[in-house]
Structure 1
C-alpha cells in the first residue's frame, strides 16, 4: 500500500491548505550506509524570523541548544499571541555527545494566593473572567529560567549572544501578520483594560494592523537584562520589581520569593516502542506523553492499514477517548501528587483498555467511569531542531490562550500567561479547552499545572525525527497522528499538512477538520453511535524535522495552516 493511500485512510481527504515551504538538504555523495552525523542543521518553527534566528546562531558556532534559545526568544517577540517570556514551556533535548535524552520542565507555577477559592464567585461557580484574564490568571513564568538553564548547561555560546536576534527584532520591529491582528481583535476588550498592554499595543494610537512594523523596546531591554545578568535579570532586580508592581496594581498577589524561588526541573522523559520506532516524549506535568503512550499501545492491537476509513477512525477515536479519561482523573504535577505512571503506560493496561473497544460500536463516554480506580494537556507554539552533531531539540512553549492574560507589565514588555486556567480550579468544571480535572490537578503554592504539550522524538534504524505542536488539548492527538503518518512513510511536509481528527472523552464527539472525513465515513461513524463534528476549522501548527541516516539528508515540515512558519536547513557545518 502506498504512503499516500495509507495517509488518505488515516483521515480520508486532506483539506485545501496553503503550501508551506519545504526544507531539504541534498544527500551527501559519500553516504552509502547509515550516516554517523547529519549533513547540517535543520530548524522548523512557526515563524520565518525565528527559524532564521536559529540559523544565525548556528553560523556563529552555536549548537542546537544555543539555536533553541534564539528560536524560543524570537518566538517570544514575534508570536506574542502564542508564547513569550511571560509564559513557560517544555524542552525535550538529546545530547549527542552523551547519547542522553533530557526533559527540561519550565512550566509555570502557582502563586500561594491562587487557591481554588480565589477563582469562585459568590455563588460558588468558577469565575471564568478571573481564571483567564488579568493577574489572577497568571502563573509564575518559567521560560526565562529555561533559556538561562539551556545556555549554562548545554549551549556553547554566551546567553547574550543567543538572545541577540530576539533583542534586535524586538527593538527594530517586524511586520504585523494577519494572525496577530485578528487575534488582537478577539481579545481587544481584555487587552485594553491594562495600562502596560495599552502602552505596547496602542503605541501608535490604534491596534496592530497587517503590514505595520511592531516594535517592543521594553521587551528588548528585558531580554538584554536576561542576557547580561542571567536568572537575576528577570527573577530579581528591576524586572522582577516591575512585574510584582504590575500584578499588585491590577489586583493580583505575587510574592518576591515566588519569582526568585522559581526553579527549572530536569525530568526523565517517557520512553516507548511502536512498530519499530523508539519514541521519547514528555513526562508529567505534561499529560501529553502519558496519553500519547496509552493511545499508541492500544492501537498496536490493530493493523490500521487494513481497516476501512470508518473503522480506522473509530478505533483511533476510541483509543483517544480512553486515554483522555485517564488524563482527566490521574495526572498532575508529580512533585505534588502520586501518579500511577507505570500502570498508565504499561502494555498490559493498554491491552485491558483495548479489550473494552467494540469493533463496530462507539463507547459512550458516560459509560467510562469518571471516578478514579484504586491505585496499584490556536495557542502555544512549537519548534524542532537537529544540528550537525546530532543534537536535537523538540520544544513547546506557551502563554496558554491567545495573548495569555492580556496583561503586559508596564516597562517590561512582558505579556503574562493565563496558565492558571490549566488547573482544575473547580473540580469537574471544564477549562477553556473543554477538558476537566480533579484533585490531582488542583492548584497549590508552587505547583505546576497540567499541560498537554507533547514534544517528542522518534527514531528507527534509519530515521531520527523531532516533532510537536500547539493546540491546547488537541496537541496530543496532533502528535499521535504525526507518528502514525511517519510510520506510514510520509515525509515531514506531508506529516505537517495532513488532516486531523480529535476525541478527548468529554465532550463526547469526534472533531474533524473540514474535508478530513468524507460523507460516507461520517455516516458509518454515526451508525456506530459516534457524534461527529465533520466541518471544524483547521487547527494546530505542527513543526517537525527529520534526519534520514540512510541517504544522509535533512528535511523539515512546517504546518501549512500557518503561512508565516518556515523550515530551513543549513546544509553544511559552519
Structure 2
C-alpha cells in the first residue's frame, strides 16, 4: 500500500521537499509558549580533571568483572571494552556475539577526540530484495529472520581486533582471556536465556551445529545448567592468536562458509575476508548546557536524538505537569521517527540530508507544528506491533581512571539471531538482514518501515537503532545506552532527560519507559510508566495509549517492561564515580573500583 504523508505539512520523501518545509515552517510563529526557559548556564566551580578510578556497567556481572580484571592488569578503557564485549558474546548469546555486530563510541582522554567504530554487519553479495519474497510477492518472514539468508556478514570480531590494535595497550590474547576461560569452564544458565531458547527452539533445532551446542542428551538448556562452549572458545583462541585472519580467513572462515552454504545460504570467502570496520565521526551537539555525542548513520539514533532534543530544548520539561511533558516528548518522537523512515540508511550508499535534519532551524520548524493540547495523528497505521525485545542486543558503558570512555552496543538482532550456528565454530549468526527494508513500505520485526534509503545491496550496512551516547557538562560526564530495537533511541532520550533533571545513574537506569515511533500511531508504555490520570489525560489529547494489561484497538497488548539500560557517571564536582545497572535485568552489574 502506498503510504500517506504525515503531518499538516505533507512532508515529501525527497531532499528538495524537506528543504522546502524547512524554509516554510521558519515563517510560522510557535503555536504556544509553555514553561519556556533559557538553557542552563555553565558553572565555573573547580572540578576534577581525572576520575578517581573506573566504572563499568554491563548486562552481565561476569562481563563487568572481566573488564575490571583487564583494567587491573594495566589495560585502559578500550582493552576493558574488548574484555566486556567478548565476555558478553559468551554469556549473552541471546543478545550478541561474534556472529553479530555493533557500534563502539570512543573518547580518548589524551587527545580529547571522539570516534565511532562502525562494526555493523553488511549484506552479502547474494542479497537482493526478490530473494526475500514468497511466491505471492510478499515478504517471506521466515527467510528474513531465520537461518542463513537472514544473516549479514559479521562485524564484531573485526571490532575487537580494531579496539585492541589501535586503541588499547594490551595484546588481544590478554583481553580475550576472560571470555575464553568462561566459554571453556561454563556459566549458569539464567532464566532469560532459558526462556529465550524455549521461544526459539523450533528454529534453532533445525541446524545440526546449533543442536550440538544447545542440546544436552537431546534436551534443551534449562535454568541452572552449566553452559560450556568449547567450540566458541577455540574460535576466540584463533582470533586472539591471528587477529582478523583468525576469523575472516582460514579455519574459522571455512567452517562459517560451509555451515551457511550447507543450510542454503550463499556466502563467499571473498566477501567474508573483505569486511572492514569503519571509523566514523560522531554527531555532537549542545542541549541545555550538555555536550551530547552520539552515533552517525548507519545508526539512526544520533540524528533522531538531535531532532528530538532540539525540538524539546526551549521547554523546561520539569515545570510541566506529567501529561503535557509526556505529550511534548511523544510529539518529538513522532517527528523524528517519521524522518528516520524516509531519509536514513548507510551513508556510503545513500545521500542523507544530515545538515538539514540536525539543524536548529529545522527543529524550530517541527516544533511549530506541535499543538499544546492535541496529538498530531500519524496518517497511516501499519497494524503491526512493536514487540518486546529487552533480551535482544546488549550495551555496556565504561569510564577509566584516565578519563577514557567507551559506550558499546552490540547485537545479533532478534532472540538468538538467525538460530544458525555453523558446525565447529560456536558462532551464532545474526539475523540483521531484517533491519533492511526488504520490501519497501512493509514493517520489519520491530514494526518499523523503510524505503529505498534502507533497501539491501551487496556490501551495504543495514540501518540500526543502536545509540551508545556520551553526555558531558562542566560538572558531569555520563555514558549510556541500551538494547531495545526501535525503542533504543527513545530510551536513550529519556535517559538524557533524566540526567538533565538531576537524576543519579541508578535512577536513570530505572526510569519508566514509553515510546512512539510514528507508525503504528500509539504510545506504548511499561507497567507503571503512567498513572491512570496521566494516561486518561493523554487519551483526551487524542493519543492512543497502549498500557500493559490492556488490549489496543488492533488487538495488541503492551509489553510489561523493556530495555536493559547500562550507564556510568563521573561527577567532577566531588570527583566521584557511579554506575546504574538496569533493575529489569537481574544478572547485570554496575561496579566502581577506585584507584589504590
Same fold (TM over 0.5): yes
Equivalent of 2:487 in 468, 474, 479? 474
1:5: which partner in 2? none
Equivalent of 1:268 in 256, 281, 293? 281
2:386: which partner in 1? none
Equivalent of 1:398 in 400, 404, 411? 411
Q: 1:71-150 residue pairs with structure 2 within 5 A?
A: 71-150=84-163
Match of 1:36, SS? coil
Structure 1 residue 212: Cα displacement: 0.8
Equivalent of 2:581 in 546, 558, 562? 558
1:331: which partner in 2? 344
1:60: which partner in 2? 73
Q: What is the rounded CA distance, in whole Å, between the counterparts of 1:279 and 1:189 in structure 2?
A: 43
Of 202-211 and 526-535, more deviation after overlay is shown by: 202-211
Match of 2:491, SS? helix
2:233: which partner in 1? 220
1:237: which partner in 2? 250
Q: TM-score, normalised by structure 2?
A: 0.89
Q: What is the rounded CA distance, in whole Å, between the counterparts of 2:209 and 2:216 in structure 1?
A: 10
1:23: which partner in 2? none
1:568: which partner in 2? 591
1:247: which partner in 2? 260
Q: What is the rounded CA distance, in whole Å, between the counterparts of 1:273 and 1:467 in structure 2?
A: 17
CA contact (8 A) 2:397 2:479 kept: yes
Q: What is the rounded CA distance, in whole Å, between the counterparts of 2:62 and 2:461 in structure 1?
A: 31
CA contact (8 A) 1:201 1:207 kept: yes
Structure 1 residue 190: Cα displacement: 0.3
Structure 1 residue 205: Cα displacement: 2.8
Structure 1 residue 203: Cα displacement: 3.4
The answer as to 2:540 corresponding to 1:527 is yes
Q: What is the rounded CA distance, in whole Å, between the counterparts of 1:311 and 1:390 in structure 2?
A: 38
- CA offsets per residue over residues 103-161 of structure 1, 9 Å max, x none? 00000000011110000001000000000000000000000000000111000000010
CA contact (8 A) 2:396 2:567 kept: yes
Structure 1 residue 367: Cα displacement: 7.7
CA contact (8 A) 1:75 1:83 kept: yes
- How many correspondences in the alignment? 534
Q: 1:4-403 residue pairs with structure 2 within 5 A?
A: 33-366=46-379, 378=390, 379-403=392-416
Q: What is the rounded CA distance, in whole Å, between the counterparts of 2:453 and 2:380 in structure 1?
A: 22
Q: What is the rounded CA distance, in whole Å, between the counterparts of 1:101 and 1:279 in structure 2?
A: 11
The answer as to 2:451 corresponding to 1:438 is yes
CA contact (8 A) 1:33 1:551 kept: no
Match of 1:245, SS? helix
CA contact (8 A) 1:458 1:465 kept: yes
1:418: which partner in 2? 431
Structure 1 residue 548: Cα displacement: 0.7
Structure 1 residue 285: Cα displacement: 0.2
Match of 1:365, SS? coil
Match of 2:168, SS? coil
Match of 1:366, SS? coil
- CA offsets per residue over residues 315-347 of structure 1, 9 Å max, x none? 110100000000000000000000000111110
Q: What is the rounded CA distance, in whole Å, between the counterparts of 1:71 and 1:204 in structure 2?
A: 31
Equivalent of 1:542 in 565, 571, 578? 565
Q: What is the rounded CA distance, in whole Å, between the counterparts of 1:354 and 1:246 in structure 2?
A: 51
Q: What is the rounded CA distance, in whole Å, between the counterparts of 1:498 and 1:204 in structure 2?
A: 43
2:464: which partner in 1? 451
Structure 1 residue 569: Cα displacement: 1.4
- CA offsets per residue over residues 415-474 of structure 1, 9 Å max, x none? 000000000000000000000000000000000000000000000001010000000000
Q: What is the rounded CA distance, in whole Å, between the counterparts of 2:139 and 2:62 in structure 1?
A: 39
Q: What is the rounded CA distance, in whole Å, between the counterparts of 2:46 and 2:305 in structure 1?
A: 32
Q: What is the rounded CA distance, in whole Å, between the counterparts of 1:409 and 1:54 in structure 2?
A: 29
Match of 2:90, SS? helix
CA contact (8 A) 1:543 1:557 kept: yes
Q: What is the rounded CA distance, in whole Å, between the counterparts of 2:380 and 2:276 in structure 1?
A: 41
Structure 1 residue 524: Cα displacement: 1.1
CA contact (8 A) 1:301 1:354 kept: no
Q: What is the rounded CA distance, in whole Å, between the counterparts of 1:336 and 1:318 in structure 2?
A: 30
- CA offsets per residue over residues 366-408 of structure 1, 9 Å max, x none? 089xxxxxxxx92100000000000000010000000000001
Q: Which portions of structure 1, spanning 4 or more consecutive aligned residues, are displaced by more than 3 angstroms?
A: none
CA contact (8 A) 2:301 2:465 kept: yes
- CA offsets per residue over residues 74-104 of structure 1, 9 Å max, x none? 0000000000010000000000111100100
Unaligned runs of 5+ in 1: 1-31, 369-376
CA contact (8 A) 2:284 2:292 kept: yes
CA contact (8 A) 2:380 2:520 kept: no
